[in-house]
Amino acid sequence: MAAPMQCGVETQSSESSMSLKKALTAVSPLTLRIVAECPVTKARACELALPHCTVSTPVFMPVGTQGTLKGITVDQLESLGCQICLGNTYHLGMRPGPELIEKANGLHGFMNWKRNLLTDSGGFQMVSLVELSEVTEEGVRFKSPYDGKEILLSPEKSVSIQNSLGSDIMMQLDDVVSSTVSGPRVEEAMHRSIRWLDRCIAANKNPDKQNLFAIIQGGLNAELRRACLEEMTKRDVPGFAIGGLSGGEEKDDFWRMVTLSTDHLPREKPRYLMGVGYAVDLVVCVALGCDMFDCVFPTRTARFGSALVPWGSVQVKHKQYAKDFQPIDPDCQCPTCKRHSRAYLHALFKSDTAAMHHITIHNISYQLSLMRSVRQSIVEGRFPQFIQTFMRRMFLSRDQYPSWAVDALASVNITLE
């Protein structure tokens, strides 16, 4: 297959050699600088330079599916220290549509977010909205839930929409299969994803401003994963995502696929583990070598009154908190914890939507603070100790530690005390 530097050079015309020269001298829209590597685990702390600003990794990226982060203003999000968040191609492609967003100066202009944006390709909706979709070599045919119209999301269409959205990182359209499915469909999807990756690369109109990431598939089958890794790493993409996981599979299979993937991904490119967001999962997967994460869980669970804390969660709507006058977490520095008590939030849930916003702010703060602490410990060479402390805080006793986490960490030389 094509060697890395060959992207975009197909003929020997003077035009294309001019553009090759241009490409070589232009500033890359993504640069990864590795600041520190954990000598014990596979963790790294990096600086990821992207068009809108530099992102410190490991990083958790909050999800703002429809061009908004559920009740939080962009100012509030910025104040929490968020440097990159997500938007979704499928949803935004439907409403309000790429043409309108282009008119609004891209998704950045439309939602007035000045930092980085990552857009998902719409692939995951294939799984989540499987009743409404049909996959062929061409693409995914969806029946719109809004007006019943049929739409074809092809690699070209997905990239075209993402070009209109103007995100800093775009995801290839992958053939996504639920991680609970096995058999020939998984292999078919893996091979198709490679072909779709090539089509996405070719379709990208803005390679100098938008970074297209590949997504490694292969389900829970080590051989298929390896094959996918071997092929996809031959393409010169700025970053790789590990996909097809975090969907309900056994955690024991999950972590093995994650670590297998990071073993075969280039060191100097970012690794994005899609759909991972529980605190324990984040810490373990950082240890396994992942740099970037996203998940709807923290923001979704907030709206149900579930506040995330270092020892689990505080279900603010439960009766037991009606007279609890402490903040959600006395050590938390977020605006919610600095001003409000569990009791007030408990009461407010019955009266106003603002209660949800308070918890959303807290949960985003929790996730971002967690990653900052993780990063700092890697930089200071004490990530292994951080993991020990983290686990002790999160679980009541050693025998409560999830066995998959114990095994995963053992695989990178961490023996949990």
Residue positions annotated with a catalytic role = 120, 294
Least gap, CB of 303 to other proteins (angstroms):
8
Which residues within the stretch 224-263 sit at the binding site for other proteins (CB under 8 A)?
A: none
Residues near 149 by beta carbon (within 8 Å), at least 6 away in sequence:
143
Give whichever of 57 and 360 is closer to other proteins, judged by the CB atom: 360
Considering only 16, 326, 353, 385, the residue that binds other proteins (CB under 8 A) is 353
Q: Which of 38, 258, 348, 391 binds other proteins (CB under 8 A)?
A: 348
φ/ψ (deg, to 5) at 413:
70, 20
Q: Which is nearer to other proteins, 326 or 385 (CB)?
A: 326
Question: Does residue 347 bind other proteins (CB under 8 A)?
Answer: yes
Instruction: Using CB under 8 A, pick the residue from 14, 24, 25, 75 that binds other proteins.
Output: 75
User: Around 255, how many Cα atoms within 13 Å sit in the side-chain half-sphere?
Assistant: 22
Nearer to other proteins, 175 or 329 (CB): 329
How far apart CA 297 and CA 59 sit, in angstroms, is 15
Q: Taking a C-beta distance cutoff of 8 angstroms, is the pair 48, 30 a contact?
A: yes
Q: How many Å apart are CA 314 and CA 339, to the nearest integer?
A: 17
| Residue 71 engages other proteins in binding (rule: CB under 8 A) | yes
Say how far residue 407 (Cα) sits from the centre of its chain: 24
| Candidate list 358, 386, 405, 408; residue touching other proteins; CB under 8 A | 358
Alpha-carbon Rg of the chain, whole angstroms? Answer: 22
Based on the shown chain and the rule CB under 8 A, indicate whether residue 394 belongs to the binding site for other proteins. Answer: no
* Residue 293 in marked binding region: no
- Per-residue DSSP letters for 243-278? -S-SSS--HHHHHHHHHHHHHHS-TTS-EEETT--S
Q: Does 76 bind other proteins (CB under 8 A)?
A: yes
218 known member of a binding site: no
Q: Is 285 flagged in the annotation as binding?
A: no
Contacts of 414 (CB under 8 A, 6+ apart): 40, 41, 287, 384, 387
Is 87 known to sit in a ligand binding site? no
Work out how close the CB of 94 gets to other proteins at its nearest, in angstroms, rounded to a whole number. 9
Is 320 a residue that touches other proteins (CB under 8 A)?
A: no
Token pair recorded at residue 272? 């994005």
325 near other proteins, rule: CB under 8 A: yes
Three-class SS state of 287: helix
What single-letter amino acid sits at 11?
Answer: T
Token pair in block for residue 281:
């999962």
**What does the buried/exposed string (b/e) look like for 387-412 if buried means 16 or more CB atoms within 10 Å of the residue's CB?**
beebbeebbeeeeebbebbbebbebb
CB of residue 356 to other proteins, shortest distance in Å: 7
Centre a 10 Å sphere on the Cβ of residue 81 and count the other Cβ atoms it contains: 13
129 binds other proteins, rule: CB under 8 A: no
CB of 151 to other proteins, least distance (A): 17
Question: 113 or 124, CB closer to other proteins?
Answer: 113
Residue 236 is assigned to a ligand binding site = no
120 labeled binding residue: yes
Smallest Cα–Cα separation from 121: which of 65, 167, 165, 159?
159
- Residues in contact with other proteins, shown as a per-residue x/- string from 156 to 185 under the rule CB under 8 A: ------------------------------
* Residue 334 in marked binding region: yes
Find the binder of other proteins among 306, 341, 363, 377 (CB under 8 A).
341
| By the rule CB under 8 A, 343 interacts with other proteins | yes
As a whole number of angstroms, the distance between CA 261 and CA 270 comes to: 12
What residues line the site for other proteins (CB under 8 A)?
A: 66-76, 79, 91, 95-96, 100, 103-104, 110-112, 322-323, 325, 335-336, 339-341, 343-344, 347-348, 350-358, 361
Which positions make up the binding site for Zn(2+)? 332, 334, 337, 362
Which positions make up the binding site? 120-124, 174, 217, 244, 332, 334, 337, 362
